[in-house]
């Protein structure tokens, strides 16, 4: 398995398991790198203020998004506040495959944050000066996009990956005497549909030995992949923070995470030499996850011009339920054929890594600040829990690596107005210095506080991009995959507005 598999599909994908002699049932507890990455990557959205400052809220404080990064940031509140954010997002994706470039886009409204902070003064002479309790909903990732990739593959067809598996099975085994039943039992989502739709068929050579072949030629076929995905992940957070001597701020939070995603992948091959017309393999996935985590942190204020802090984020333990099915349709010389696989219902537990955040802010009293956060997490410590996940956990340990996320931001006040800018870099789950799977963000923003200091309006524009490389399937010659990568660049444009009202 390559480390550059697509993170866009967490389905029990046939194409990531079809390797010669790796004869696993494709569809039963075959989670792998894609699942681990999808369930681990977090890119908090939050308020327009936090987004405009690159999400660097760990030492900034005074913003409800801080309770997701470092709950001690709530300790800088002196009173109560209600916050509501809404935004518009446009996602453009460009895919290059065998020299051909294709693009697609998707636009939609979102609610990146809503929350309530309740707090006030406890004492002006005891160590605990202020205390805060907060409840918020923050979007942690967005899965709304459409992609398309297309190109002429001169070397192979996806059917060749099927044939490599089935022709690698010993001839005395069941598939050569009763292929239909064998494929239905062990490969119900890929080989069995291919058998039922005549993509693969059984033949006998002059020596009387059985083998499998296909009317689809090994190369010179036009291949097209279209993906539509909808969904999001979010976190409901309950947090408490305290202010001690106006110097030390501590906080703790409990997060209830929720993920919902529906995706459809359509893969089509069209013949160019007249040997066949076309065939299509469609995969439909719906999954829902609920999890829980615990965070704690501190911020220390040694002088009026500097603050620093740190936070620890526990593992998120999630219970995930998935529904998955495939549909294969072929238009060959012997007619049109279609087969719908059985539906797979599956539940499992997944644990993300621990993570640590360090934060630093340089302050210009009554004027502004420059702030930065660094996250450390080790993707290789992700884990599936239960029987049958040994291979998936082994792949996670082998291919996924530690990673760093870096966020920086600046805010400057001019009377009742605030000017903000920031940026972020999210490291690749495949290790330091790897571009595949990494992401970048740049942002600008404005803020305005009314004269009575009761209502504030914040606006942010964010441009994000990420790069992914993956193969739509895997076909091997002399131990090397001969299928080109799909190189996919995604651009996300977001406009967010936040209203904050003091209570």
Weakest-pLDDT range from 180-184, 326-330, 428-432: 180-184
Percent of the chain predicted with pLDDT > 90: 68
Task: Give whole-number Cα distances, 154 to 2, 246, 272, 422, 483, in Å.
Answer: 21, 68, 11, 45, 9
Is 14-160+218-502 CATH 2.40.160.60?
A: yes
Q: How distant, in Å, are the alpha carbons of 255, 260, 404, 476 from that of 164?
A: 46, 35, 39, 8
Provide φ and ψ at 76, rounded to 5°: -85, -10
> Which pLDDT value is given to residue 23?
31
Report the distance separating Cα 331 and Cα 269, nearest Å: 10
pLDDT at 15 over 60: no
* Per-residue model confidence as pLDDT tens digits over 298-339: 999 999 899 999 999 999 999 999 999 999 999 998 899 999
Cβ–Cβ < 8 Å for 336, 98: no
Residue 251 burial (10 A CB sphere; 0-12, 13-18, 19+): buried
pTM for this model (two decimals): 0.85
Tell which wins on pLDDT, 170 or 361: 361
The Cα–Cα gap between 161 and 20 comes to 8
What's the whole-number mean pLDDT along residues 14-21?
A: 30
CB-based burial, 114-147: b 16+ in 10 Å, e otherwise: bbebebeeeeeeeeebbbbebebbbbbbbbbbbb
Give yes or no for residue 4 having a pLDDT over 60.
Answer: no
Instruction: Please report the pLDDT score of residue 19 as a whole number.
Output: 31
> Average per-residue pLDDT in the chain?
88
Residues 423 and 371: beta-carbon distance below 8 Å: no
Q: Give the phi and the psi of residue 174 in degrees, each rounded to 5.
A: -55, -40
With the CA atoms of 398, 400, 402 and 407 taken in that order, what torsion angle do they form, in degrees rounded to the nearest 10? 170
Q: Rounded mean pLDDT of 66-76?
A: 93
Which of 78-82, 385-389, 446-450 is the least confident region?
Answer: 385-389
The mean pLDDT of 205-231, rounded to a whole number, is 90
What pLDDT, on a 0 to 100 scale, did the predictor assign at position 176? 62
CB 309 within 8 A of CB 300: yes
Report which secondary-structure segment, H or E, holds 494.
strand 486-502
| Residue keyed to tokens 């995930």 | 320
Given a contact cutoff of 8 angstroms between Cβ atoms, the answer to whether 29 and 99 are in contact is: no
């Amino acid at each position: 398995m390559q480390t550059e598999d697509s993170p866009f599909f967490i389905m029990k994908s046939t194409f990531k398991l079809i390797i010669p002699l790796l004869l696993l049932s494709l569809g039963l507890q075959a989670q792998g790198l894609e699942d681990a990455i999808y369930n681990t990557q977090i890119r908090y959205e939050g308020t327009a203020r936090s987004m405009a400052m690159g999400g660097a809220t760990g030492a900034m404080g005074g913003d409800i998004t801080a309770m997701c990064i470092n709950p001690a940031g709530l300790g800088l509140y002196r009173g109560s506040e209600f916050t509501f954010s809404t935004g518009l997002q446009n996602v453009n994706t460009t895919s290059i495959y065998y020299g051909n470039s294709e693009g697609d886009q998707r636009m939609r409204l979102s609610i990146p944050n809503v929350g309530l902070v309740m707090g006030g003064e406890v004492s002006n002479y005891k160590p605990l000066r202020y205390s805060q309790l907060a409840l918020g909903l923050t979007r942690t990732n967005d899965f709304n996009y459409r992609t398309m990739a297309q190109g002429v593959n001169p070397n192979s067809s996806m059917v060749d990956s099927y044939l490599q598996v089935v022709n690698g099975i010993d001839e005395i085994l069941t598939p050569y005497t009763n292929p239909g039943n064998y494929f239905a039992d062990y490969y119900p989502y890929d080989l069995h549909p291919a058998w039922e739709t005549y993509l693969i068929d059984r033949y006998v050579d002059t020596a009387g030995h059985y083998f499998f072949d296909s009317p689809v030629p090994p190369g010179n076929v036009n291949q097209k992949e279209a993906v539509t995905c909808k969904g999001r992940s979010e976190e409901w957070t309950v947090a408490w923070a305290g202010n001690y001597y106006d110097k030390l701020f501590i906080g703790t939070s409990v997060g209830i995470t929720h993920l919902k995603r529906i995706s459809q992948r359509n893969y089509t091959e069209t013949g160019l030499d007249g040997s066949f017309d076309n065939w299509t393999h469609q995969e439909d996935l719906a999954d829902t996850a609920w999890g829980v985590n615990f965070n704690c942190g501190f911020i220390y204020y040694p002088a009026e011009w500097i603050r620093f802090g740190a936070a620890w984020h526990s593992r998120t333990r999630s219970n995930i339920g998935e529904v998955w099915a495939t549909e294969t349709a072929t238009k060959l010389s012997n007619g049109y054929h279609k087969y719908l696989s059985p539906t797979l219902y599956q539940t499992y537990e997944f644990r993300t890594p621990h993570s640590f955040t360090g934060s630093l802010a340089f302050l210009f009293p009554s004027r502004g600040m420059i702030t930065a956060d660094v996250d450390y997490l080790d993707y290789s410590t992700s884990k599936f829990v239960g029987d049958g996940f040994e291979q998936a956990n082994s792949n996670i340990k082998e291919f996924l690596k530690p990673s760093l996320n870096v966020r920086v931001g600046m805010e400057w006040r001019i009377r009742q107005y605030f000017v903000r800018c920031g940026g972020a870099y999210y490291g690749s789950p495949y290790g330091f210095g790897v571009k595949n799977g990494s992401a970048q963000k740049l942002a600008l923003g404005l803020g305005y506080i009314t004269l009575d200091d009761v209502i504030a309006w914040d606006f942010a524009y964010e441009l994000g991009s990420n790069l992914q490389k993956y193969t739509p399937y895997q076909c091997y010659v002399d131990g090397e995959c001969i299928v080109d990568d799909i190189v996919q660049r995604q651009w996300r444009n977001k406009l967010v507005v936040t209203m904050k009202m003091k209570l």
